[in-house]
Structure 1
């Protein structure tokens, strides 16, 4: 599963500045020759080397067309049925378009999409001049992905009338006055309208190739140059820049966060909330104004070679639009993205008068600096190396058990998953791979002895995928520890990255990279994590919706299957301990008010998630709000990460920066009831094992189960 980070990027959200666009049409975008060449080269690789090759024919063409349209208008709120009829006339011609290096069909669809965005946003803004009647009984559909496309302009207008009315009512219920509501919504729709004028040819091609690759399987991807660079950064946890997290806000590129120790923070010349209005290269290069420039383009201007100088034109946070600007110079340096690195904490768990120390290792991703490793750098960064250091520190802390928190860890390096398993299991098979030809290879770790031999727990959720599932499955199959949480994502496929420019012997980047599925993972017990994921030994409630998130939510996921078990020797057998661990868990959470509140919140979230429509009647909505407030008031307040607060009706970039940061801080400081309970389960494991109920080793050579 490709890892995505909200923090890493300085980042690629696209939010334009405000300028007048009335009466103008968005630019007509056309494909570049190099894009057509990249498409046909990708098709050749996919047809030959994909794990389950699918011929590029009329049938696949129709799937690509359908997926491309859905990616543009998932809620069926922009295109009309007449648009869809026109598009589908070409639905079987995508294969010919790629083979003939002619991508006018998808670009024509996208140009229509841009115009529809302009049409709809212009209409939405016009509705703000009127008042709405919130006494009538009508509903707005929240989930329109299966609804019919609007048949006429009148039907489309009615849909958008209800959408604008819904946006207005949310703000009204939050206590906003009519004038403030008009201002907020007008700016919101204006921003959406302006985004249609910001797209470039590369954006269209990336979306089209996403539709193509995702029509084969959920995890085959195409990376343009920008996407490829971000993926590399996510794997090595470093980049060269100034060390600032940037965000588009109020038409300015705004500093949201300064990375500790980075050039921006060390200079003492920048603060959170400062706005970048210009960027210059070197000590004397001309400063280019960047107000209104796409954020990803500004990011690329600020990044550069280590030791080089970048100059920034800064409008201070406390200055008005006409305030005094400051010109500052910063020397670019390597920035370590330590927020995504492994870290440890120690939790004290008290039970029956005994306090046990549980070391928690939180691992957000299986990262590895491939480039540094290839060039022989002895200090290259990797997840398993960092965890090995943390385990040594936890030994010094004399912890009674270790809990590895893999929640929302979407995977990463396969070799790191194997090496991390070795830290707890030692030498032996970790995972099996079967390629397109049916050949099965066993991947093993060669660490002579594990770095940690004490009690182990692994905490997973629906967001734990790929490498996380390999590690959790190996710990489970070896009987090495207890798996706690909710069933994992279910990604059991293997991808490899092909640099298309290297294949074509291009001297400069033109074609991008292709990440294609080439094999499937299997556990050492012979089963696969594909589709079903890893089933925890002790289940905990989760916030995710399995219907919309996880491998089983994809319509073209590979099926579950199995191969012969590998020859491995389990470290132990956890089975005798599990009934007692489950019993202790059940008894503990029954009397844990925080845990029971979390269970209630999860149940309420599920109810809200399954609503397909929302009332636009003010009295009914206020009654619903009152009932929700009564429910919250009836119990002691707890910040458990589930938002039970009042809806302010605002989008993230519509709040003040301080309010946005405060909300993020509140989420970070939420009481983690699941982590607390998982640590208690590992403490129970330590107690039971030390009390003579140690898991008995099974040394019978080959085995096929836990």
Structure 2
């Protein structure tokens, strides 16, 4: 997975950069040649020293490493090979195998030379695009465009590059027309986008170029080690302490688009149900009727200035959904800004009724969005400090009183958090014992244990995970699986099994501002010995997924640390769950095979994959209109079929007003059925005298 240009992540729910690095009104010097400063060289040397001495698995500094950094840096600037000419790359070739040596000498001339050429080429491309967009385009030709240019050849000359760009411009114009724009308006909007992109690049400073290059350096080591320049880290620290209102999402800029990295649980975006990780924001508007401002080509920190605002005010966003791929049609949504409260990110419960084999079961569902801990409250010895395990313990006590027969722990999209809380949460379901092993770079292994004999819930339990479940979530799910304490269901988890430490370089630089370094220093291992790194947790019962692990998980990162195994640590595993998994899978497959709504869900996932993986598109407007109309008719036919079968209710405009699903979530509903089957089988075994 590439780290794109402008890849500094911005946390909208709590901050935006105070210093607007790239104000839209700033004066620019298009001829300015950017040069590295002495402090950049010192910072690179210091970072290199720390990586070599303290990283969990430092890379050998050689030509192979240099080649990786060089290739990644070119991708960061020109991922689709639409700016550089082959002659440019030929000129850069002299730098391919010297970057490893430059890490220790502090020589930054190569990356700055490359960036300055990139800046010039982008200016040329923008000029060409604006001139092309001054006139109507011929959208009647039977041409096609292949959007997958990551491994394409660089253009041999300007004419060849112009041909590539003309097709891309036509593709973008057609996309806007299909989204409701008139042809002339579409051309004008694209001109504005290119001007914004040009202005943003021209306002880059040496710090920005250094940050991009160091991104490639750190990603060559592993995807979770990173560097923040003094300015970036200062803005980060200042704004993390503030309470600013937003939509509840983390953003980055990827290939000219402001892209959602993560939707924060409990925020406006999350509660709307309309925003997902990977969606692109192409427009922002204020209030119910404010003008929609196109933000394609904007830097992320500029976009934040529009998205942030006073609590309770309305912001409208135009999105391109990730699941629809390059064929996505703009979707406008409305959100109300608010400050994200800790309560909104806390564990929550609900009870669902599941009917299975003529019997009704009350199933308690506990949604755990993150592993949180009030460190200060714990340090002070407060009895009721805020934490995941404390909140879940209270919820379990309540669910017992409500008479539930089993518990589903919903950890979907839980990106992790406190390691201590992963251990404490596991302890609510086991008497005492090992939970996770941590291996340091020197090979030493520490076993982290639950020492509290209290078991808050000794009944049937299931854990629901997906590709967004990472780190602490995987530790909990793996422990439950290794102990045979419950059944794990869902998608293969993310696979982040590494530990990072934040290093303040300013404290070791002799007074000079150097920024911050995040460094991978250790690795997690299950109590059974296998790492959660790279592979994640594989469920006992797999659910269909919209994405393959190689697309979105840890394994999608080319420099991710590999999976490996160490010795298991002593633990008493139950054999009860293992003996019924095969039976549970058979019942699951038989039930879902007859469940029309579940089959609809699977078909929708398959269609989403087709749309997302489609890279070749017609540049004939009429053909594209027919394709769009076909998709729309299929969606309407599906909606009518569901309504005719009583699965949904529609209003007079054909909009869905009521879902008939038990929980309006087919995967959670099926989890409840699996747990009900599990309860049945356990009851049968108990009657038969089995343990």
Q: In which range does the TM-score fall when normalised by the shorter chain?
A: 0.7 to 0.9
From 526, 529, 535, the counterpart of 1:526: 529
- Inter-partner Cα distance in structure 1 for 2:530 and 2:480: 14
Match of 2:628 in 1: 625
- Contact 1:527 1:561 (8 Å CA) reproduced: yes
* TM-fit CA distance, 1:316: 11
- Inter-partner Cα distance in structure 2 for 1:600 and 1:59: 43
From 628, 632, 635, the counterpart of 2:638: 635
Q: Secondary structure at the match of 2:448?
A: strand
- Inter-partner Cα distance in structure 2 for 1:638 and 1:368: 47
Report the CA distance shift for 1:246/1:605 in structure 2 as closer, same or farther (over 3 A).
closer
- Inter-partner Cα distance in structure 2 for 1:341 and 1:364: 7
From 548, 551, 557, the counterpart of 1:548: 551
Report the CA distance shift for 1:390/1:516 in structure 2 as closer, same or farther (over 3 A).
same
- Contact 2:13 2:248 (8 Å CA) reproduced: no
From 92, 95, 98, the counterpart of 1:93: 98
* TM-fit CA distance, 1:521: 1.9
- Inter-partner Cα distance in structure 2 for 1:233 and 1:696: 62
Report the CA distance shift for 1:503/1:678 in structure 2 as closer, same or farther (over 3 A).
farther
Match of 2:334 in 1: none
Q: Secondary structure at the match of 1:89?
A: helix
- Contact 1:573 1:696 (8 Å CA) reproduced: no
* TM-fit CA distance, 1:426: 3.5
User: Cα deviation per residue 1:638-665 (whole Å; 9 max; x = unaligned)?
Assistant: 99xxxxxxxxxxxxxxxxxxxxxx99xx
Match of 1:65 in 2: 70
User: Cα deviation per residue 1:136-176 (whole Å; 9 max; x = unaligned)?
Assistant: 22211121111111221111111111111001112223342
Match of 2:680 in 1: 687
Report the CA distance shift for 1:293/1:587 in structure 2 as closer, same or farther (over 3 A).
closer
Match of 2:590 in 1: 587
Match of 1:604 in 2: 607
Is 2:45 aligned against 1:40?
yes
* Stretch deviating more after TM superposition (533-542 or 575-584): 575-584
* TM-fit CA distance, 1:16: 6.1
**TM-score, length-scaled by structure 1:** 0.76
Q: Secondary structure at the match of 1:634?
A: helix
- Contact 1:431 1:443 (8 Å CA) reproduced: yes
- Inter-partner Cα distance in structure 2 for 1:473 and 1:355: 30
| Structure 2 gaps, min length 5 | 252-262, 269-284, 291-296, 317-337, 643-654
Is 2:447 aligned against 1:442?
yes
- Inter-partner Cα distance in structure 1 for 2:300 and 2:289: 12
* TM-fit CA distance, 1:681: 1.7
Match of 2:254 in 1: none
* TM-fit CA distance, 1:403: 1.4
From 166, 170, 194, the counterpart of 1:165: 170
Report the CA distance shift for 1:63/1:387 in structure 2 as closer, same or farther (over 3 A).
same
Match of 2:243 in 1: 241
From 264, 287, 291, the counterpart of 1:273: 287
Report the CA distance shift for 1:455/1:352 in structure 2 as closer, same or farther (over 3 A).
same
* TM-fit CA distance, 1:428: 0.8
- Contact 1:483 1:538 (8 Å CA) reproduced: yes
| Structure 1 gaps, min length 5 | 249-255, 262-270, 277-291, 304-310, 319-332, 640-661, 699-706
**TM-score, length-scaled by structure 2:** 0.78
Q: Secondary structure at the match of 2:624?
A: helix
Within 5 Å, give how 1:181-196 maps onto structure 2: 181-196=186-201
- Contact 2:370 2:414 (8 Å CA) reproduced: yes
- Contact 1:344 1:359 (8 Å CA) reproduced: yes
- Inter-partner Cα distance in structure 2 for 1:436 and 1:367: 27
Report the CA distance shift for 1:18/1:45 in structure 2 as closer, same or farther (over 3 A).
closer
Report the CA distance shift for 1:222/1:368 in structure 2 as closer, same or farther (over 3 A).
farther
- Aligned-pair RMSD on alpha carbons? 4.3
- Inter-partner Cα distance in structure 2 for 1:358 and 1:488: 23
Match of 2:368 in 1: 363
Match of 1:148 in 2: 153
Q: Secondary structure at the match of 2:400?
A: helix
Report the CA distance shift for 1:694/1:122 in structure 2 as closer, same or farther (over 3 A).
farther
- Inter-partner Cα distance in structure 1 for 2:227 and 2:186: 41
- Contact 1:11 1:295 (8 Å CA) reproduced: no
From 669, 673, 678, the counterpart of 1:676: 669
Within 5 Å, give how 1:503-518 maps onto structure 2: 503-504=508-509, 506=511, 510-518=513-521
